[in-house]
A and B are shown apart, each in its own frame.
Chain A
Amino acid sequence: MGRHIAFVLALWKTNLLSAMEYRVSFLTQMAGMMLNNAIYFVFWIIFFARFEEVNGWDLVDMLFLFGVVATGFGVGTYLFGNAVRLSLLIASGQMDYYLSLPRPVLLHALASRSNASSAGDCAYGLLSFGAAVYFAGAFDILMLLRFGLGCLAAVTVLISFLVLVQSLTFWIGNTNLLTSNAFNAIVTFSLYPITLFDGTAKLLLFTLIPAAFIGALPAEFVRRFDLAQLAQICAGSAIFLFLATFVFYRGLRRYESGSAFQVRT
């Protein structure tokens, strides 16, 4: 385990060195993403200025929600930047590189890229969590631990979901459009209060598009401890992680490589 951790830390360090080659671009993308998130949240400020709450959720709940989701997305797509371009790597034969080195292919591929804009998501998420704590007027160290756990669950389910969808590339070829739609769907649905949905819609948000595990569930858990929610978060994360790993490695047997000229960035 220790050797895998040392390897992943070395990869992240190399990603950081690569990003630092273009500092201005890095900072611009980061600031741009923070602004983008802030503009999106303005909608909810205007909404809650007119309605005090929606199905039991108030503005502070939304701040917790944005805190967990933005931090989860930011950390996930910064540390595992190739999670959003796995289908491209598979379809264009770029998995050859990871297969020729003595490391777990999926982990190596995912952690070999960092998205600069994700750092903006992450910074915005932390600010949102800070604001939520301030307006809630209640903070203790356990809340910080719950926030860490909630973000970890969000990262796990998000990355697993992206891997699952893009692993279909091994069977059906190009999944660019499907990946793009799946990504948009999970981002959109994770940023709404779960109480807006019921019945089939709610079931879908825990299964086919597991946005509930990335947003509402961990956000509620961060605000107040609930053992049942903790169990749900852990079980959901473990199931999606197992499914993603299983389907990816099943698909990898069908990998057909390619002969296109490539560049490692």
Chain B
Amino acid sequence: MPAVSVRDLRKTFQLKQKAAGLRGSLRALWRPSLQELDAVRGISFSMDEGELLGFIGPNGAGKSTTIKILTGILHPSSGEAEVLGRVPWRQRQELAFQIGSVFGQRPQLWYHLPAVDTFYLFGKIYELDDRELKGRIAFLAEAFEIEELLETPVRKLSLGQRMRCEVAASLLHRPRVLLLDEPSIGLDVVAKQRLRATIQRMNDLEGVGVLLTSHDAGDIEALCRRVIIINDGEIVYRDKVSALRRRYLTVKTVDVRYNEQLPPDFALPGVEMVKVGRYGAKMRFDTRVTPVGPVIGGLAAAGSLADVTVSEPSLEEVIGAIYARAESKDG
């Protein structure tokens, strides 16, 4: 049985529309205009126990709404969902003992108190035995490298430190599934890497399944084997991250520099010249059309090479291209 299963899930919000200015406000007062917004439009997917599943999409794509339905915070407009065999919006309390959640923009640690005080409060909320709780705090403090931070008021922690404490707090009751909504929002590169490492470690150590939403494709690339891309409330891609790379990372960019001057009409068959200078050039080609071998051979034959750099688009650019493709289909 999958840990999470979602079938044809939909969520529609009603939004009040109002024209600008006083006249618009008065008209809205007398005759409010309501518009329906489909935040989630019939999505279906599943996640296995212990799986690290990436759920990515731009702002307003429906990621957070989906996570909120799966934690029981929101009721869906229609469709079905089960998390660990429970319907979240009907069995919210029962389910909350089995899952953990972290929302990047909604801290659960008490701001003026040290994190350890919230940990003890969570111990009561999750009905943990005092001795068991102490052991668990010690274990998580070591796993997340937060021993030194636990007794510092949360308001004095850096964002990265605070987020590690947040994730540790959500794991106190040994959840089987962790729902992480933008946990790396606002973090610098080093803090992101540490957070990713700790999430990976908890998955290895305890087999906790993670459904991770993020703007940052790097989070998904580092942690997840499978990815779902959502745009405008619909799933536009689902497969392994490696397949995503194979399928979309076929366009290579080459920067080349020579020890001698290049002819002004320098070109290679099947290669798009982006820029040609006197001693170097930048070009792009698709490996499905033009294999790498002949391109490198052609570059070597063109003169005495000083330097060659071959790069591929980042996962972020690939995802951007998938969003753009989905939008152009809609258009």
Contact = CB atoms under 8 A, between A and B. Distances in A.
Contacts, number: 83
Interface string B135-177: 0000000000000000001000000000000000000000000
B71 interface: yes
Interface string A212-255: 00000000000000000000000000000000000000000101
A264 B108 contact: yes
Interface stretch (A11-19, A61-69, A129-137): A11-19
B113 A18 contact: yes
Contact of B124 (A10, A21, A263): A10
Interface residues of B, number: 35
B101 interface: yes
Contact of B108 (A3, A14, A97): A97
A264 B111 contact: yes
Given A96-B106, A97-B108, A10 B113 contact: no
A102 B126 contact: yes
Interface stretch (B41-49, B92-100, B222-230): B92-100
A17 B116 CA distance: 12
B54 to A, nearest CB: 20
Interface size range of chain A in the complex: 20 to 34
A11 B92 contact: no
Given A14-B110, A18-B113, A96 B73 contact: yes
Interface string B103-122: 10111111111000110110
- Taking each of A7, A100, A256, which has the highest tally of chain B beta carbons within 10 Å of its own beta carbon? A100
Interface in A89-106: 94-97, 99-104
B107 A263 contact: yes
A106 to B, nearest CB: 13
Contacts of A17: 113, 117
A262 B109 CA distance: 11
B71 A7 contact: no
B183 interface: no
B280 interface: no
Interface in B204-255: none
Contacts of A95: 73
Contacts of A256: 13, 74
Nearest to A108: B125
A7 B125 contact: yes
A7 B92 CA distance: 18
Given A21-B153, A96-B73, A102 B107 contact: no
A260 interface: yes
B127 interface: yes
A99 B125 contact: no
A261 B127 CA distance: 29
- Taking each of A11, A17, A102, A104, which has the highest tally of chain B beta carbons within 10 Å of its own beta carbon? A102
A249 to B, nearest CB: 12
A6 interface: yes
B117 A100 contact: no
B113 A259 contact: no
B326 to A, nearest CB: 22
A174 to B, nearest CB: 11
A103 B95 CA distance: 11
A36 interface: no
B184 interface: no
Contacts of B68: 96, 257
Nearest to A11: B121
A188 interface: no
Contact of B110 (A3, A6, A22, A264): A264
Contacts of A104: 93
Contacts of B97: 102
17 contacts: A6-B124, A7-B125, A10-B121, A14-B117, A17-B113, A22-B112, A99-B71, A102-B93, A102-B95, A103-B93, A103-B125, A256-B74, A257-B65, A262-B105, A262-B107, A264-B109, A265-B112
Given A21-B113, A96-B68, 13 more contacts: A11-B124, A14-B110, A18-B113, A95-B73, A99-B72, A100-B103, A101-B125, A102-B94, A102-B126, A103-B93, A257-B73, A264-B107, A264-B108
Interface of B: 13, 64-65, 68, 71-75, 92-97, 101, 103, 105-113, 117-118, 120-121, 124-127, 153
